């Protein structure tokens, strides 16, 4: 889809197949709706008596209005004016996008982002959310559908965002960012929706290689079993051993073309060694960064859980909804989707993506309850439940992350059913002992309509992970299951600022609308947009 901005206040002159104008539930018209109403002899006001209430997301299509160039005016309910927020804008814009697909128009325009929100969003943020809503609405799963049930491709090709003249530049940037986030979400959704017999660890690795072929700012390398053995990732290997499907450890490295290697702090610290070669300089700055615990140098590492199917292993899951465990690689998918968005935006930042990918299956060599394995960190783990496999693959990836001297490490995982119980499909569970990083992620979540809720990691929870036969056990019993899983991971993430996102509840939807959501690509991309801005300032 092509996006453009158009700055005008002559709303009745806008040429398009469908023009969105906002109306509040108290009957007040937005300025755009008001102009349309006046130019059409009160056509909009007329509907307010019985057909249209202005409830958030409500829609009414009016065709061929006298005095209006647009072939259709779509009235979009904005809800109560006193609580009109970015979230409401996003919902209204999404409703309009769906309507455009339902009526099969090929081009559309929206005045919705002209309206200020009570959370004081900028024109750029409103354009971002509008573009994200439009892009996201285009995604359709079709990979394994025959042509007989595959005729719902959206026809919409062009979208104009109506802006104020002074906001045009900001809106253009917002449109680009919203589109990149929407495209990143589609990448994540597609990988999440593909069945386990197609989306295998090898398939994920090939997709990561494809990303590197598509963007010269991304480099991908794939480690196979032999290399993973050489690294002594005994915990990851133990999970992978239960399946005939070969494991992959995916390493992606993104460096924006405008990325500058040394931060202010490190240039200061290494000022005395400016005559040495630049390569050495980087090394020294990283060393100094660690010594002074400076968090502005070093890449941000994203670690995604890549279990392409989780049967539970020997501690096998019940049959009823086991198909849903094909979504157990949504952490990995969100990392790849975020790389797509990063590269599209060419953000001036350095990001590493790590994906331990394998299946969790119960063959003759699978983990057995009571087995003890040695992780890459040297810590031994007693596997009391083979279905707590996510933490077993992630812990070795967290140790591997140390070699990048990261400024922050964020792991993303469909880790626990307990997190679904605690937070449902609204918030991702956010765990971090680093307040600054936690706040940055919380803020990015709010900004991108992809929210998180902070959860505890207090010392007393660690009690539950004690084992008589190893340094720690892989489960902590029923109470606080999401917390003890995060506590387990924290043991392997002591050498850098770390945060964990449990996305078991938000990454996919069950029931009739079963499918992958593309979350938390918006949150991660927004966090990186903010970091790129902050670090290059």
Q: Mind telling me the catalytic residues?
A: 317, 391
Q: Is residue 306 close enough to count as binding Zn ion by CB under 5 A?
A: no
What residues make contact with Mn ion under the rule CB under 5 A? 310, 387, 389
Q: Does position 414 bind ligand BES by CB under 6 A?
A: yes
Q: How many residues does the chain have?
A: 537
Dihedral angle sign, alpha carbons of residues 472, 475, 480, 484? positive
CA distance 162 to 130: 11
- Sheet strand arrangement including 380-383: 371-374, 380-383, 472-473
Residue 11's CB is within 10 A of a number of other CB atoms, namely 26
Q: Is 385 in the site for ligand BES (CB under 6 A)?
A: yes
Among 387, 396, 411, 450, binds ligand BES (CB under 6 A): 387
Least separation in angstroms between CB 455 and Zn ion: 18
Interatomic CA distance for residues 344 and 406, integer angstroms: 23
Dig out the tokens for 298 from the structure: 């070093």
Please tell me whether residue 245 binds Zn ion under the rule CB under 5 A.
Answer: no
Q: Is residue 501 at the binding interface for ligand BES, with CB under 6 A as the rule?
A: no
Nearer to Zn ion, 298 or 390 (CB): 390
Q: Which of 504, 521, 528, 532 binds ligand BES (CB under 6 A)?
A: 504
Residues 6+ apart with CB under 8 A from 505: 419, 420, 423, 424, 425, 426, 427, 428, 429
Bridge partners of 453, per DSSP, are: 429
Q: How far is the CB of 456 from Zn ion (least distance, A)?
A: 22
Residue 174 in contact with ligand BES, rule: CB under 6 A: no
Q: Which one of residues 125, 328, 344, 359 is an interface residue with Zn ion (CB under 5 A)?
A: 328
467 binds ligand BES (CB under 6 A): no
Tell me the closest approach of the beta carbon of residue 329 to Zn ion, in angstroms: 9
Question: Which of ligand BES, Mn ion, Zn ion, none binds 417 (CB below 5-8 Å, type-dependent)?
Answer: ligand BES
Give the interface segment with Zn ion, choosing from 168-176, 382-390, 430-438, 447-455 (CB under 5 A): 382-390
CB atoms within 10 A of CB 55: 13
Nearer to Mn ion, 281 or 416 (CB): 416
Q: What share of the chain is helix, strand, coil (3-state, %, to 5)?
A: 45, 20, 40
E strand segments, 116-270:
158-163, 218-223, 248-255
Residue 390 binds Zn ion, judged by CB under 5 A: yes
Alpha carbons 224 and 253: distance in angstroms, whole number: 17
417 is a contact residue toward ligand BES (CB under 6 A)? yes
Task: Name the minimum Å distance from CB 441 to ligand BES.
Answer: 20
416 binds, among ligand BES, Mn ion, Zn ion, none (CB under 5 to 8 A by kind): ligand BES
311 interacts with ligand BES by CB under 6 A: no
Which region among 196-204, 290-298, 410-418, 513-521 touches ligand BES (by CB under 6 A)? 410-418
Do the bridges between strand 380-383 and strand 371-374 make them parallel or antiparallel, or are there none, so unpaired? antiparallel
Question: Shortest CA distance to 259 belongs to which of 296, 288, 225?
Answer: 296
Interface contacts to ligand BES, rule CB under 6 A: 310, 328, 385, 387-390, 414-418, 420, 475, 481, 504
Per CB under 5 A, residues contacting Zn ion are 307, 310, 328, 390
């Amino acid at each position: 889809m092509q996006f453009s901005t158009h700055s005008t206040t002559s709303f009745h002159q806008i040429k398009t197949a469908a023009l969105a104008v906002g109306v509040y539930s108290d009957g007040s018209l937005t300025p755009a709706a008001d102009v349309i109403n006046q130019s059409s002899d009160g056509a909009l006001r007329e509907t307010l008596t019985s057909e249209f209430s202005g409830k958030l997301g409500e829609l009414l299509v009016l065709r061929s209005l006298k005095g209006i160039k647009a072939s259709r005016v779509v009235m979009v309910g904005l809800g109560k004016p006193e609580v009109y927020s970015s979230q409401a804008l996003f919902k209204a814009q999404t409703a309009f996008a769906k309507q455009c697909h339902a009526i099969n128009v090929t081009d559309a325009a929206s005045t919705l982002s002209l309206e200020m929100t009570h959370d004081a969003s900028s024109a750029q943020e409103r354009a971002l959310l509008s573009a994200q809503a439009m892009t996201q609405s285009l995604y359709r799963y079709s990979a394994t559908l025959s042509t007989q049930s595959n005729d719902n491709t959206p026809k919409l090709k062009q979208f104009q965002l109506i802006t104020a003249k002074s906001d045009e530049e900001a809106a253009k940037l917002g449109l680009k960012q919203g589109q990149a986030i929407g495209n990143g979400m589609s990448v994540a959704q597609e990988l999440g929706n593909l069945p386990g017999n197609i989306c295998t660890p090898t398939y994920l690795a090939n997709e990561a290689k494809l990303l590197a072929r598509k963007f010269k700012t991304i480099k991908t390398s794939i480690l196979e079993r032999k290399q993973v053995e050489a690294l002594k990732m005994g915990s990851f290997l133990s999970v992978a051993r239960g399946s005939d499907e070969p494991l992959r450890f995916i390493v992606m490295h993104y460096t924006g073309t405008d990325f500058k290697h040394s931060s202010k702090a490190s240039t200061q610290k290494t000022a005395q060694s400016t005559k040495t070669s630049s390569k050495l300089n980087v090394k020294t700055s990283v060393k100094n960064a660690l010594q002074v615990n400076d968090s502005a140098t070093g890449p941000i590492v994203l670690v995604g859980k890549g279990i392409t199917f989780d049967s539970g292993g020997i501690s096998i899951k019940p049959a009823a909804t086991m198909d849903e465990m094909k979504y157990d690689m949504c952490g990995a998918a969100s990392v790849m989707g975020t790389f797509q968005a990063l590269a599209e935006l060419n953000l001036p930042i350095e990001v590493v993506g790590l994906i331990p990918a394998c299946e969790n299956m119960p063959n003759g060599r699978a983990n057995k309850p009571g087995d003890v394995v040695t992780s890459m960190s040297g810590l031994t783990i007693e596997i009391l439940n083979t279905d707590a496999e996510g933490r077993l693959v992630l812990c070795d990836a967290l140790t591997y992350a140390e070699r990048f001297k990261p400024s922050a490490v964020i792991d993303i995982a469909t880790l626990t059913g307990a997190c679904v119980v605690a937070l449902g499909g609204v918030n991702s569970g956010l765990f971090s002992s680093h307040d600054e990083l936690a706040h940055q992620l919380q803020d990015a979540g709010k900004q991108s309509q992809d929210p998180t809720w902070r959860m505890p990691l207090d010392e007393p929870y660690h009690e539950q992970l004690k084992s008589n036969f190893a340094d720690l056990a892989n489960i902590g019993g029923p109470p606080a299951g999401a917390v003890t899983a995060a506590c387990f991971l924290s043991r392997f993430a002591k050498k850098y600022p770390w945060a964990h996102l449990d996305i078991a509840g938000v990454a996919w939807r069950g029931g009739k609308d079963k499918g992958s959501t593309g979350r938390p690509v918006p949150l991660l991309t927004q966090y990186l947009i903010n970091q790129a801005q902050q670090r290059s300032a």
